[in-house]
Amino acid sequence: MDEDIYKKIEAYLGGDMTSEEQKQFELMMSKDIELQKEVKLANEINHHLHEESWLSLEKSESKQAKNDIEDYIKSNEANEIKSKINLAGKRYKKSQYGLRRRLLIVSIAGVFVITLVSTVFFNQNSSTTNLYSKYYTENDLPSIVKRGSQNELLNKGIIAFKARKYEKAITFFEDYLKENNDPLLYSYIGISYLELDKTKEALSSFDKLLYSSSLDKSKALWYKSLLYLKMNDTVELKKTLSNIISDSTNFNYNKAKELLLVGD
Amino acid sequence: MQKLANKNYLEGLLSGDQSVIDEIYKNNFQPVLSFVRKNNGSYQDAEEVFQDALFQLIVRLKVRKFEITSTFEGYLFTVCKNLWRKELNKQKNRVRNTDVIELVIEENKHSSFILEQERWELFEEKINQLSDNCIKLLKDYFNKVSYDVIVKKFNYSSENVAFQRVFKCKKRLAELIKRDSKYQDLS
């Protein structure tokens, strides 16, 4: 075939012929089987090279091959395989759905845990650490040294307490109390236990002060409030604070009132 | 290794081994789904394409003399891409001729595509026998890259020279295809 024919084939396939040229070319094709084949192949190549197009098979093409394929497709064996593929598709979809569900649950749980942790942390921050450190001050503790005690055990206890060596402080104070009667010292012992997170012992120390005959026994209510604040026990905290504000002469009456408002 | 992996998949598929089919699904469906979705298709479309490709592979193994020359994954993805390409073309034609409702019998759908895919593979094989320059030139030309761009890109002196090159490359490709007996069988 010469170049001129190829150009005509391209023009014909590309729709670049006038209707007259097209008619002439089709007439030429009808008389020339070789030309028909060339046009068919050129068309197939054009479709192949064009990325978005797909040339479907003509009905007359590859009849024998088509029949062979279709015979097999109709067989039981082919049908069984087909349904197995279909079932695999369903299993896959289900597993993906399950996976997505699991991921969703895990992420919801994650959000929940984060919320929970931050809530607890926040609460601890606001009602325990922050409020506790805001309201707890050593100045509230009765000044024992000022009272002119020359006792060595007591002095050592105070020094250890101020150095935050609470275990040592407790030992010194308790040894001192074996020979002396000073209920106010229970405030120091109680706070020491509280700092060591031994709330039970702290509470019992404060109660000893509370049920003593000391004029400063109302201070025990305040220390107990601090303890409940640190423990985040809002119920007991409110009870204790209410107890304080029931008598305006009680130690830290105003602070107790303030704290009750914060608590609400 | 590649042949062994292909062999395991093919044997599993042919015997209808559930775990093998599940594994094929697990390792190959996602890229097909992404491709179909990117090209205006749905999950259901991707599922149909994927299952047709797997089923047709079995038919080809049983009825046609067929061997996968690439990786199993590569083969499957290419077939799925072509199946979807055909579907999109069909949709385009349907829009053009709304009154012609084509009733395609299931067997016919598979047999036509299998033979079209065989033709596609043959053409690809022959294209890869051309020079790199020819391959690039033909792809640009048939994907509507303009002549002036082609002239500049390939350093041709004129549009006419570019056309001569396209023409020669296409002629060479046609000869390679015609000479192959597989093409005669498909015609």
**Is there a single domain that holds both residue A144 and residue A250?**
yes
List chain B residues with CB under 8 Å of A75: none
**A66 inside domain:** no
Q: Do B185 and A6 touch (CB under 8 A)?
A: no
Please determine, for residue B58, whether its predicted confidence score (pLDDT) is greater than 90: yes
Query: Which backbone phi and psi does A150 adopt, to 5 degrees?
Result: -105, 5
Question: Between A42, A52, A72, which is nearest B59 by CB?
Answer: A72
**A199 inside domain:** yes
- Mean pLDDT in each 10-residue stretch from start to end of chain A (264 residues)? 81 89 93 93 92 84 88 92 93 82 68 57 51 72 59 83 88 87 86 89 90 82 87 85 86 83 66
- In this prediction, residue B45 carries a pLDDT of 95
B96/A contact by beta carbon, under 8 A? no
Q: Do A53 and B89 touch (CB under 8 A)?
A: yes
Angstrom distances, CA of residue A44 to CA of A50, A60, B116: 10, 15, 10
**What is the DSSP annotation of B120-166?**
HHHHHHHHTTS-HHHHHHHHHHHTT--HHHHHHHTT-SSHHHHHHHH
Q: Are B177 and A81 in contact (CB under 8 A)?
A: no
Average pLDDT value for chain B: 88
CA A53 to chain centre: 49
- In this prediction, residue A116 carries a pLDDT of 58
Q: List the domain range (segments joined by +) for residue A34.
A: 3-54
- In this prediction, residue B105 carries a pLDDT of 80
Which tokens belong to A153? 């055990």
B54/A contact by beta carbon, under 8 A? yes
- In this prediction, residue A38 carries a pLDDT of 92
**Is there a single domain that holds both residue A107 and residue A163?**
no
Count of domains observed in chain A: 3
- In this prediction, residue A115 carries a pLDDT of 57
- In this prediction, residue B104 carries a pLDDT of 65
List chain A residues with CB under 8 Å of B39: none
**Is there a single domain that holds both residue A95 and residue A30?**
no
Domain ranges of chain B: 1-128, 129-187
B18/A contact by beta carbon, under 8 A? yes
Exposure pattern of A208-243 as b/e (b: 16+ CB <10 Å)? bbbebebeebbbbbbbbbbbbbbbeeeeebbebbeb
**Is there a single domain that holds both residue A125 and residue A141?**
no
Q: Do A68 and B63 touch (CB under 8 A)?
A: yes
Complex prediction ipTM: 0.89
**A221 inside domain:** yes
**Is there a single domain that holds both residue A184 and residue A120?**
no
List, for residues A58-102, the tens digit of each pLDDT value: 877 788 889 999 999 999 999 999 999 999 999 998 888 777 777
- In this prediction, residue A134 carries a pLDDT of 72
List chain B residues with CB under 8 Å of A52: 85, 88-89
